């Protein structure tokens, strides 16, 4: 903004110094005073806090005295002088992460022949929020994902343990069935030998009894061998199930670690931001 003022300079008549008006006849020089200023303010984020950038440029032809007045969020500046063609810039920290928009009154004063004139301005800055957008929502989301992955990992771990126990039980049962089959086989062999002896003696009754006994033990052996095979199949199935759950558990543990690492990274960034805010 500018304002033109007619300024009369000093003329000399003999030994006297006179200030002459527009009707004077001894005017030595005449100059038009044009005060003008270009000022503005802008809210901006610096190190997590809202700062107010204050700018003033003297675009006229006379010295100006300038002061940016206080608002509810920013302190007033000191009065400062700017010569024609000169510009000054200041940044004021609000100490806050968030401010509303407001007007700033700017006092601008200049002096002509000992008389003070005002060229006051009103500038506006916008509301601004400098808080990191992730600080709360992102952290909570990551905590939730890490907790869910942890629960899944625990559940898969329990299933893997359970499948491992079942596989161990099936293995033990298979071993017991194998031992029973071996016993039945030995008994069948023993009955077979007895039947052979009875046959040699010509004792058909005794021979028949031992042959029936041999058959019974062979049937028993077959039964235990089938039982052994069933338990071995069961053991294999549970071992495969155990491996599947262990793989699942590892996947969930890796996922949990990934979310925990991501959560820690955001928490570290947030801590750094809060420390910068305190400085």
User: 9-31, pLDDT tens digit by residue?
Assistant: 332 222 322 233 333 333 345 67
- Strand, coil or helix: 235: helix
Q: What is the dihedral of CA 240, 243, 249, 254, to 10 degrees?
A: -130
Based on the fold, state whether residues 207 and 106 are members of the same structural domain.
no
Assigned domain for 21 exists: no
> Is 40:122 a contact under the CB 8 Å cutoff?
no
Which among 106, 129, 152 is the end of a domain?
129
Based on the fold, state whether residues 156 and 262 are members of the same structural domain.
yes
Assigned domain for 206 exists: yes
Residue length, the chain?
Answer: 279
Tell me how far CA of residue 98 lies from CA of 49, 77, 278, in angstroms: 7, 20, 15
> Is 101:89 a contact under the CB 8 Å cutoff?
no
Which among 98, 129, 160 is the end of a domain?
129
Based on the fold, state whether residues 73 and 107 are members of the same structural domain.
yes
Assigned domain for 23 exists: no
pTM of the predicted model as reported, rounded to 2 decimal places: 0.45
Based on the fold, state whether residues 206 and 113 are members of the same structural domain.
no
Assigned domain for 125 exists: yes
Which among 102, 129, 156 is the end of a domain?
129
Based on the fold, state whether residues 90 and 159 are members of the same structural domain.
no
Q: What is the separation of C-alpha 124 from the centre of its chain, rounded to a whole number of angstroms? A: 34
Domain range spanning residue 149?
137-278
Based on the fold, state whether residues 153 and 105 are members of the same structural domain.
no
Based on the fold, state whether residues 153 and 125 are members of the same structural domain.
no
**CA 22 – CA 89 distance, rounded (Å):** 40
What is the pLDDT at residue 242?
80
Q: What is the share, in percent, of the chain residues with pLDDT greater than 70?
A: 84
Based on the fold, state whether residues 124 and 157 are members of the same structural domain.
no
Convert the pLDDT of each residue in 31-54 to its tens digit. Answer: 788 999 999 999 999 988 999 999
Q: Could you tell me which of 69, 57, 54 has the C-alpha nearest to residue 104? A: 69
Based on the fold, state whether residues 205 and 175 are members of the same structural domain.
yes
Assigned domain for 24 exists: no
Q: What is the tally of structural domains in the chain?
A: 2
Based on the fold, state whether residues 90 and 152 are members of the same structural domain.
no
Please tell me which of 30-39, 99-108, 228-237, 265-274 the model is most confident about, judged by mean pLDDT.
99-108
Assigned domain for 20 exists: no
Based on the fold, state whether residues 173 and 217 are members of the same structural domain.
yes
Please tell me which of 13-22, 107-116, 154-163 the model is most confident about, judged by mean pLDDT.
107-116
Based on the fold, state whether residues 201 and 98 are members of the same structural domain.
no
């Amino acid at each position: 903004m500018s304002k033109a003022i007619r300024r009369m300079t000093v003329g000399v008549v003999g030994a006297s110094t006179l200030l002459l008006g527009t009707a004077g006849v001894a005017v030595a020089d005449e100059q038009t005073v044009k005060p003008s200023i270009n000022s503005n303010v802008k809210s901006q984020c610096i190190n997590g806090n809202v700062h107010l950038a204050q700018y003033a440029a003297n675009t006229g032809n006379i010295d100006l005295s300038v002061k940016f007045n206080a608002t509810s969020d920013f302190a007033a500046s000191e009065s400062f002088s700017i010569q024609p063609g000169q510009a000054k810039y200041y940044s004021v920290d609000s100490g806050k992460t968030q401010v509303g928009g407001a007007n700033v009154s700017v006092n601008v004063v200049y002096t002509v022949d000992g008389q003070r004139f005002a060229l006051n301005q009103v500038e506006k800055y916008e509301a601004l929020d400098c808080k990191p957008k992730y600080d709360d929502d992102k952290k909570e989301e990551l905590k939730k994902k890490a907790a869910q992955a942890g629960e899944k990992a625990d559940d898969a771990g329990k299933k893997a343990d359970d499948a491992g126990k079942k596989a161990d039980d099936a293995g033990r049962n298979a071993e017991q069935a194998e031992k029973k089959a071996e016993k039945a086989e030995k008994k069948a062999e023993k009955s077979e030998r007895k039947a052979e002896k009875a046959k040699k003696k010509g004792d058909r009754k005794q021979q028949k009894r031992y042959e029936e006994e041999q058959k019974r033990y062979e049937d028993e052996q077959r039964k235990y061998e089938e039982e052994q095979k069933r338990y071995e199949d069961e053991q294999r199935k549970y071992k495969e199930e155990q491996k599947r759950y262990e793989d699942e558990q590892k996947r969930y543990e890796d996922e949990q670690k990934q979310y925990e690492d991501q959560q820690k990274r955001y928490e570290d960034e947030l801590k750094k931001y809060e420390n910068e805010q305190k400085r």
